[in-house]
Amino acid sequence: MLRENKWGDEARMSRRNRKYAVPGVARDMQTFKAEVMRREGYDVDPNRPDDVKYEVAKDLGVPLSPDGNGELTTESVGHVGGKIGGSMVREMIRLAQQQLAEKDGQK
């Protein structure tokens, strides 16, 4: 898909391809995202966990649309991704700390 960038030039816009450090975990990461965002109070369709971004955007007052968002600033879209990613990172840290504590308790 071609879009005009802020300088008036056409640029090819593509969806970011997620690459995980551990092969084969894409489905598990989507499930994890759904669980974390459900605990944050969002209604998440387990079959479409990426769609939670629209609910988060609405809460943050960002008019995110599945049809195109070329008019949105990087900052406003970043708030949406940051809310989701930040929640996931906090949960990952909590789980890692829990595992370390359990490991220390077994010594």
Q: Tell me the residue type at 30.
A: Q
Region 43-56 average pLDDT: 91
Range in 6-10, 47-51, 79-83, 85-89 with the lowest mean pLDDT? 6-10
Confidence (pLDDT) at 96: 96
Neighbouring C-beta atoms of residue 62, cutoff 10 Å: 21
Task: Give the contacts of 66 (CB within 8 A, at least 6 positions apart).
Answer: 54
Domain-wise residue ranges, the chain: 23-105
CA distances to 5, 29, 36, 41, 46 from 32, in Å = 34, 5, 6, 14, 10
Q: Name the band, by pLDDT with cuts 50, 70 and 90, for residue 94.
A: very high
Helices assigned H by DSSP within the chain: 26-39, 52-60, 74-105
pTM of the predicted structure, to 2 decimals:
0.75
Region 51-74 average pLDDT: 92
